Structure 1
Amino acid sequence: MKRVGIMTSGGDCSGLNAVLEGAVKAADRRGYEVVGFSRGWEGILSPSDYRRLTVADVNGISALGGTILKTTNKGRFGAKLGAGGVRAIPDDILTEARDNLVALGIDALIVIGGDGSLSSALQLAELGVNIVGVPKTIDNDLSATDRTFGFSSAVQVAVEAIDRIRTTAASHDRVMLIETMGRHAGWIALRSGLAGLADAILLPEFPFRLVDFVEFLDDHQARNGCTIVVVAEGAMVEDKMVAREEGQGEVRLGGISNRLMEDIEILAPGRFDLRGAVLGHVQRGGTPNPADRSLALAYGAAAIQAVEAGAFNRMVAYQNLKMTTVSIAEAVGTLKNVTPNTLDYLTALELGVFIH
């Protein structure tokens, strides 16, 4: 009997539990035993924190947000430095993780995580651990896969917020800035801004000049009375993003909407009635929508198929309406960014949206 480990690592998002349900049920059909590690890599390191996952444990959890295994984006195993940087995990930490997995009789480890977690997994694979990756990024920004779970639910939350904020903006003739997640890729802002009929969409991929934005606001307010602006947290004004470092880890973004309102007020004092809404973690939480549930279940089942096939040190990927695998190194090497040829971007331009 194969014994398969599974863990969720990094920030949470809708669909994680569906991956677990898909994996455990697919494993059960093959007679595999599944061991779930708590709080990501920390559950593998001493003192190990794990439990067996049965079909009874996971039945129906696809409808739940978060992860029953818990997760963390901090700890001793962090390899991500932000903006694509990766640090070497100390040899003693890697060895401890490998030895604990060997002691538990783990034949393969399924790592559900983003580029940081998968970069960590690659370093562990070099010590002989059989790794299968499952991509987890709410930003939908991995080039090796067409869609990632959590993205659709996040967009749905953002569109609902835009719809609600629009009515109060219209009532007060205000400029409303709605800040979404999106560190280095603006897919959530772009998709939700287009679907929510935003008047301006500001993305990390396209820096803009504040003077041009103020000119747009002047014209739009004069013609329409209110303006809806959707801005990704990683959007850059004059080639700069609003960010701060936390220790040695990932760059923490956020606050671009407040910064924009301050800068606009300096450049055009008293000209606009500005308000902001930072959606933040509300985009991560709650019940996954049907699209994310079905996709996440498919990822979980495909991860077990990869274990069965011996497709190790590879990541499950959704490409051309099918599940396949790609090398983890390829998967984390290139971000999928919005480009001037992206359909949603071109559509927004045709609708007269200020998009940068």
Structure 2
Amino acid sequence: MRIGILTGGGDVPGLNPCIRSITLSAIDLGWEVIGFRRGWGGFLKIDPEDPASIAAYSYKLDRERVRGIDRMGGTILHTSRVDPRTAPEGDRTDHVLRVLDAMGVDAMITLGGDGTLRFSAHLAGLGYPIISIPKTMDNDVFGTDYCIGFSTAVTRSVEAINALRTTTESHERIAVIELFGRRSGETALLSGFLAQVDRTLISEVPVDLDRLVPLIVADKKSRPANYAVCVISEGASIVGEALPDKSDIAKSASQRLLAGVGHRLAKHLEARTGQGTVVQELAYLMRAGEPDALDRMVGFAFGGLAVQLIHSRRMGRMVTLNQGRYDHVPADTLLRSTRSVDVEGLYDPYHYRAKLMRVEGMPMFLY
């Protein structure tokens, strides 16, 4: 048996532990493991008849190759945000399948977010043997309660938010801290709750400045140190602003036409209150560095489960964590809906804060 692995989309801590787990689990079964570089984009660079292109975009994974990588962030396989169906020259699904056939790959394990796994579901629908592993620090893949990278992103965010309190307090300002989360506000909601910030603004609920500003001013005045902290998801919207082009926020920061929502909110706050602000986009720092203990654990477990599914010939599945238990669902499950914050159950949209109305019987992350 020869299996392939790739990572696609944004990197997150926990990918390398998962790669190590897959590789060692497969080797223990006597299988060969091929790592494909640069996600699905790497496939488009491979010419099955050109050994040099195969060597450039794939290599054998063995015990030595994966030794110690579980302590590293990012992905040793590198990554890209490419869907072969939307290549400039048209749908290249057939090319991907031709590469897999020519290289003798019996099954693929793909680690990615919504974009990467959508193409994986497409291949599964065509009958190709594939197992998907969800990873995204936004935790927004439908069908699983947890994605690799989420815990580390929250941990990094809480550390940074609390560190920024010293500067905010010293200058008696209002801190506006923007976190990743274009479609889902889970990362901001949980980070804001754990860091016990004054207000948390999420992608799912538009920000009404007429309601928010008095709350922030009261927060600042109520604290002897005379400062306040507000966390906001990058995908949040502000009531009264022209709705930004959704494609703009999908671009890298250097290519966006609009300032980030954190900077826009800070300008509104300064104009309405006369108070100074501290603005910080945590951005890539949220996904930088080594994985925390939970993402190592989930990475190892997801990788082992993926190999077990292939070994038992249960293909076309996505590994999941649901209600605190490892499980798996059809690979196309993520296509059925979108995952977002349960606003009614977990968020107070009038006071812009997390709320815990119920805890008994809930899973660890309350989602």
Is the TM-score greater than 0.5?
A: yes
Q: What's 2:109 paired with?
A: 110
- State the secondary structure of the residue aligned to 1:56: coil
Paired AA for residue 354 in structure 2: A
The reply to whether residue 215 of structure 1 matches residue 217 of structure 2 is no
1: CA distance, partners of 2:88 / 2:338: 21
1:79-98 mapped onto 2 (5 Å cutoff): 90-91=90-91, 93-98=92-97
The reply to whether residue 64 of structure 1 matches residue 67 of structure 2 is no
Paired AA for residue 305 in structure 1: Q
Paired AA for residue 63 in structure 2: V
Identity %: 33
- State the secondary structure of the residue aligned to 1:57: coil
The reply to whether residue 55 of structure 1 matches residue 63 of structure 2 is yes
Q: Is the 8 A contact 1:118 1:332 kept in 2?
A: no
The reply to whether residue 77 of structure 1 matches residue 80 of structure 2 is no
2: CA distance, partners of 1:181 / 1:243: 17
Paired AA for residue 234 in structure 2: E
Q: CA deviation at 1:226?
A: 0.7
Which contiguous aligned blocks of 4+ residues in structure 1 show a shift greater than 6 angstroms?
Answer: 344-347
1:224-263 mapped onto 2 (5 Å cutoff): 224=223, 225-238=226-239, 245=247, 250=250, 255-263=260-268
Paired AA for residue 84 in structure 2: F
The reply to whether residue 329 of structure 1 matches residue 336 of structure 2 is no
1:54-203 mapped onto 2 (5 Å cutoff): 54-73=62-81, 75=82, 77=84, 90-91=90-91, 93-203=92-202
Paired AA for residue 215 in structure 1: P
| TM-score normalized with structure 1 length | 0.87
Closer/same/farther in 2, CA of residues 242 and 286 from structure 1, 3 Å limit: farther
The reply to whether residue 265 of structure 1 matches residue 270 of structure 2 is yes
| TM-score normalized with structure 2 length | 0.85
Q: CA deviation at 1:252?
A: 5.9
Q: What's 1:295 paired with?
A: 298
Paired AA for residue 201 in structure 1: T
Q: CA deviation at 1:332?
A: 3.5
- State the secondary structure of the residue aligned to 2:231: strand
- State the secondary structure of the residue aligned to 1:329: helix
Q: What's 1:41 paired with?
A: 40
Q: Is the 8 A contact 1:233 1:256 kept in 2?
A: yes
Q: CA deviation at 1:25?
A: 0.8
Contiguous gaps of at least 5 residues in structure 1:
80-86, 352-356
1: CA distance, partners of 2:5 / 2:146: 21
Q: CA deviation at 1:231?
A: 0.6
2: CA distance, partners of 1:218 / 1:8: 45
Q: Is the 8 A contact 1:78 1:116 kept in 2?
A: no
Q: Is the 8 A contact 2:346 2:356 kept in 1?
A: no
Q: CA deviation at 1:129?
A: 2.0
Q: Is the 8 A contact 2:83 2:115 kept in 1?
A: no
Q: Is the 8 A contact 2:74 2:288 kept in 1?
A: yes
- State the secondary structure of the residue aligned to 1:238: coil
1:316-355 mapped onto 2 (5 Å cutoff): 316-343=319-346, 348-349=354-355
Paired AA for residue 96 in structure 2: A
Paired AA for residue 99 in structure 1: R
- State the secondary structure of the residue aligned to 1:110: strand
Q: Could you give the per-residue CA deviations for residues 297-332 of structure 1, whole angstroms, max 9, x where no partner exists? A: 101111111111222221111123332211122124
Paired AA for residue 105 in structure 2: I
2: CA distance, partners of 1:154 / 1:110: 24
Q: Is the 8 A contact 1:234 1:242 kept in 2?
A: no
Q: Is the 8 A contact 1:153 1:288 kept in 2?
A: yes
2: CA distance, partners of 1:330 / 1:165: 39
1: CA distance, partners of 2:355 / 2:83: 45
Paired AA for residue 236 in structure 1: S
Contiguous gaps of at least 5 residues in structure 2:
47-53, 254-258, 358-367
Q: Could you give the per-residue CA deviations for residues 53-85 of structure 1, whole angstroms, max 9, x where no partner exists? A: 012211221110011100011x46266xxxxxx
Q: Is the 8 A contact 1:185 1:205 kept in 2?
A: yes
Q: CA deviation at 1:43?
A: 2.2
